[in-house]
């Protein structure tokens, strides 16, 4: 009877350890699938999105966020530049939506002739670039700006220009590292 009890407790302990190992493997597998297929991990380069994103922040990009609907105003998106054979991913904030007219005058952003009042950043824009005159977006184009408005290569410049829907990778939604900056992006 004593041997039976000892074997019972040994099997119970072994079963607990096996279940624990299987649970850990399942969590690791789920995290891998999430990061590999649904999300994309990217490191932000530069200070164009300061203070929202800093240089070398690692972010998660939701690849399926815009599979049904397009980006909304003030979403932070990741995209590639049209016609450039580069692996560089840009991260900027959506300001102008398809069909809208964007213009930067008097250091402020105007959409369809009306000044944006609820902008995330209240910095005066010193360089209007391509948006110096009215710029009407096509049905598949977005106008994007960096949060560090006076130190950002964005839709104001011909090297980036307007962002086409087909070049949008997804919505940048979470800062993964450094650990002290771990948070959702708004």
CA distance readout (Å), 74 to 35, 49, 118: 24, 12, 10
The DSSP output letter for 135 is E
The residue from 12, 36, 48, 88 that is catalytic is 48
CA distance readout (Å), 177 to 62, 180, 182: 16, 7, 6
The residue from 80, 92, 152, 155 that is catalytic is 92
Task: List the beta bridge partners of residue 91.
Answer: 78
- Known catalytic residue at 72: no
- Known catalytic residue at 92: yes
Active site residues: 48, 92
């Amino acid at each position: 009877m004593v041997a039976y009890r000892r074997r019972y407790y040994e099997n119970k302990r072994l079963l607990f350890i096996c279940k624990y190992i299987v649970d850990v493997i399942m969590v690791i597998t789920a995290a891998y699938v999430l990061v590999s297929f649904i999300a994309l991990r990217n490191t932000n380069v530069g200070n164009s999105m300061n203070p929202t994103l800093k240089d070398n922040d690692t972010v998660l990009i939701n690849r399926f966020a815009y599979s049904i609907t397009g980006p909304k105003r003030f979403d932070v998106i990741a995209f590639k530049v049209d016609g450039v054979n580069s692996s560089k991913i840009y991260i900027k904030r959506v300001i102008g939506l398809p069909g809208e007219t964007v213009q930067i005058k008097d250091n402020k952003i105007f959409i369809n002739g009306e000044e944006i009042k609820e902008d995330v950043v209240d910095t005066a824009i010193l360089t209007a670039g391509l948006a110096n005159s009215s710029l009407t977006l096509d049905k598949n184009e977005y106008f994007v700006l960096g949060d560090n408005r006076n130190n950002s290569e964005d839709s104001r410049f011909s090297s980036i220009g307007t962002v086409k829907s087909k070049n949008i990778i997804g919505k940048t939604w979470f800062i993964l590292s450094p650990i002290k900056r771990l948070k959702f992006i708004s």
